[in-house]
C-alpha cells in the first residue's frame, strides 16, 4: 500500500519528503551548493558507481530538490519523481531518454504548443517518427500503433480546448497491444490533486510545475513521475547528459512552500471555474463553453470518473464572430490579466490561436479542434463575484 492510500493529499503535500537537519528546521533548508565534499577517494568513487547513497553534484541530485521530488512522487502515487527547470525540461528529458532514431511516437493532436513543436518539428528532424491522432478514438489508436512505437503521449484535459481522454481505456488498449509502450500523460491542467494518471494505468506523468503545482506565478519548473527505473533514466540520461534541465534548490524550496496550500487552492479554483463556466454558458454571445464539469461537455462522464474532487480551474470558450470578437472581449477586461501561463492566484486570459498555440498552422488548428475564436481562461483565486463582473464587461464589449 502506498503512502497515498493511508493519508490525505494535504498531509502528504505538507509532510512527505521531510528533511531532518542538524538543527531541527521545520521548513526544508535550501542547499545552495553545486557540489558535495567526499570523505575519501573510495567514498566518492562509490557514490559515482551507485554503490552507496550520497550526493556528488547538483546536476544529478540535491537534498532540497530531492525533498520536493519525494513529495510530488507521493502526491501522484508514483515510485519516484524527477524535478526539472521547466515543464518542457521534463517532457524533453523523459522523451530523449526513451527514443532513438527510427523509433515511433503516437501523440494526440491537441497538445500544449511547444510540446507539439518539439514532437512535430524537432524530434522528426532527428529521425523519430511521430503520428498525431485523436487518442480518444480507439480505431485511430489501433491503426496508429506500429512495432517500433515507444510512446503514446497525451494531455487530459488537453490544452487549450479541454478535450478529455479516458486514461484507463487508452492505457489498457495500448498495453494489451504491447506492454512495452509507455503511455505518458501531461497532467498539468488536472494537477495531482484532481487526477492521478498512474492509478489509471499510465506509465509516466509529466507536469509543468510552473502552473498549479507551484501556483504563485514566480518560477518555472517541471516534474516526471514514474517507476524508479524510468525516472532514473530520465535523470541520468535525460537531464544529466542531454538537456541539463536541472531544478535549482531555491526553486525547489518555493515549490514546497506552494504545495502546502495546493488542496485549498484547487478547491477554490474548481468552485470558481464551475460558476464561471455556468455563467458563460448562459450568455448568447458565447458560442460554446468548454469545461469538463458542464454536462454539455462531451467528456463529462469520463472526467467525472477519472478526476476526483472537481474539474479544475481552466475554462475555455468560443466567442461568436471569431478572432476579432475574441480580441475585443479579451481587450475590454480589467481584472483578468492578458497573459499566457496558468494556475496562478491571478486570473489570466489568453487567445491560444495567436499565443500559446501559434506553433500550429491554421489547418493544424482546425484539425486539432482549436477555433480562431477560442479564449482560454485560467480562473484565479480572487473572489468569484469580481471575476464574473469583469467577464460581464467582456460580454458587453462584443
Ligand X SMILES: *Cc1c(COP(=O)(O)O)cnc(C)c1O
User: Which residues bind to ligand X, rule: CB under 6 A?
Assistant: 86-88, 112, 115, 155, 159, 186, 188-189, 208, 210-211, 220, 222
Closest distance of CB 187 from ligand X, Å? 9
Q: Among the options 59, 168, 240, 275, which is catalytic?
A: 59
Q: How far is the CB of 115 from ligand X (least distance, A)?
A: 6
Spatial distance between the Cα atoms of 119 and 141, rounded to a whole number of angstroms: 17
Nearer to ligand X, 208 or 230 (CB): 208
Least gap, CB of 88 to ligand X (angstroms): 4
Q: Residue 143: in which H helix or E strand, if any?
A: helix 138-144
CA R_g for the chain: 21
Q: Determine whether 323 is an active site residue.
A: no
Please enumerate, as own/partner, the contacts of 199-204 that have beta carbons within 8 Å and a separation of 24 or more. Answer: 199/77, 200/167, 200/168, 200/171, 200/306, 201/167, 201/168, 201/170, 201/171, 201/172, 201/175, 202/167, 202/171, 203/171, 203/227, 203/230, 204/94, 204/230
Catalytic entry in 112, 193, 212, 291:
112
Q: What distance, in Å, lies between the first and last C-alpha atoms of the chain?
A: 54
* Residue 211 is among the residues annotated as catalytic for this protein: yes
Q: Is 264 strand, coil or helix?
A: helix
Nearer to ligand X, 355 or 398 (CB): 355
- The nearer residue to ligand X, 92 or 149, going by C-beta atoms, is 92
> Who's near 340: CB < 8 A, 6+ residues apart?
348, 350, 355, 356
Is residue 52 annotated as a catalytic residue, yes or no? Answer: no
- Is residue 376 among the annotated active site residues? no
Rounded to the nearest angstrom, the gap between the alpha carbon of residue 135 and the centroid of all alpha carbons in its chain is: 17
Q: Write down the residue that cell numbers 480518444 correspond to.
A: 136
Least CB distance to ligand X at residue 14 (A): 24
Nearer to ligand X (CB atom), residue 118 or residue 173: 118
Between residues 186 and 251, which has the closer beta carbon with respect to ligand X?
A: 186
| Least CB distance to ligand X at residue 285 (A) | 27
Active-site residue identified among 211, 235, 265, 376: 211
Residue nearest to ligand X (CB): 87
Contact assessment for residue 156 and residue 111, using Cβ atoms and an 8 Å cutoff:
no
Q: Cα dihedral sign for 176, 233, 6, 215?
A: negative
- Catalytic (active-site) positions: 59, 112, 186, 211
Amino acid at each position: 500500500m502506498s503512502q497515498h492510500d493511508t493519508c490525505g493529499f494535504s498531509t502528504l503535500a505538507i509532510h512527505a519528503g521531510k528533511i531532518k537537519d542538524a538543527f531541527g528546521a521545520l521548513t526544508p533548508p535550501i542547499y545552495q551548493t553545486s557540489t558535495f565534499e567526499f570523505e575519501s577517494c573510495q567514498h566518492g568513487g562509490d557514490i559515482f558507481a551507485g554503490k552507496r547513497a550520497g550526493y556528488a553534484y547538483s546536476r544529478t541530485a540535491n537534498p532540497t530538490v530531492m525533498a520536493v521530488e519525494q513529495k510530488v512522487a507521493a502526491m501522484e502515487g508514483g515510485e519516484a519523481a524527477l524535478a526539472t527547470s521547466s515543464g518542457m525540461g521534463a517532457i524533453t528529458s523523459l522523451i530523449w531518454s526513451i527514443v532513438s532514431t527510427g523509433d515511433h511516437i503516437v501523440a494526440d493532436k491537441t497538445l500544449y504548443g511547444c510540446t507539439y513543436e518539439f514532437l512535430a518539428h524537432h524530434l522528426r528532424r532527428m529521425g523519430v517518427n511521430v503520428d498525431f491522432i485523436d487518442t480518444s478514438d480507439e480505431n485511430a489508436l489501433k491503426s496508429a500503433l506500429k512495432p517500433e512505437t515507444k510512446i503514446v503521449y497525451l494531455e487530459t484535459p488537453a490544452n487549450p480546448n479541454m478535450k478529455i481522454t479516458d486514461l484507463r481505456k487508452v492505457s489498457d488498449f495500448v498495453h494489451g497491444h504491447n506492454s512495452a509502450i509507455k503511455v505518458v500523460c501531461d497532467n498539468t491542467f488536472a494537477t495531482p490533486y484532481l487526477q492521478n494518471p498512474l492509478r489509471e494505468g499510465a506509465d509516466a506523468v509529466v507536469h509543468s510545475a510552473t502552473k498549479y503545482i507551484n501556483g504563485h506565478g514566480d518560477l518555472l519548473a517541471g516534474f516526471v513521475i514514474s517507476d524508479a527505473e524510468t525516472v532514473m533514466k530520465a535523470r541520468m540520461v535525460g537531464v544529466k547528459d542531454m538537456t541539463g534541465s536541472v531544478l535549482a534548490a531555491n526553486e525547489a524550496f518555493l515549490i514546497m512552500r506552494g504545495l502546502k496550500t495546493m488542496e485549498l487552492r484547487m478547491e477554490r479554483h474548481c468552485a470558481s471555474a464551475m460558476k464561471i463556466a455556468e455563467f458563460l454558458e448562459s450568455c448568447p454571445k458565447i458560442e460554446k463553453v468548454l469545461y469538463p464539469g458542464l454536462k454539455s461537455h462531451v467528456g463529462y462522464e469520463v472526467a467525472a470518473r477519472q478526476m476526483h474532487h472537481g474539474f479544475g480551474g481552466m475554462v475555455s470558450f468560443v466567442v461568436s464572430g471569431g478572432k476579432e470578437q475574441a480580441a475585443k472581449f479579451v481587450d475590454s477586461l480589467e481584472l483578468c490579466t492578458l497573459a499566457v501561463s496558468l494556475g496562478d492566484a491571478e486570473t489570466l486570459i489568453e487567445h491560444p490561436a495567436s499565443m500559446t498555440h501559434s506553433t500550429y498552422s491554421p489547418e493544424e488548428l482546425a484539425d486539432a479542434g482549436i477555433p480562431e475564436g477560442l479564449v482560454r481562461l485560467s480562473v484565479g483565486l480572487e473572489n468569484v463575484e469580481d471575476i464574473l463582473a469583469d467577464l460581464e464587461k467582456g460580454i458587453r464589449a462584443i
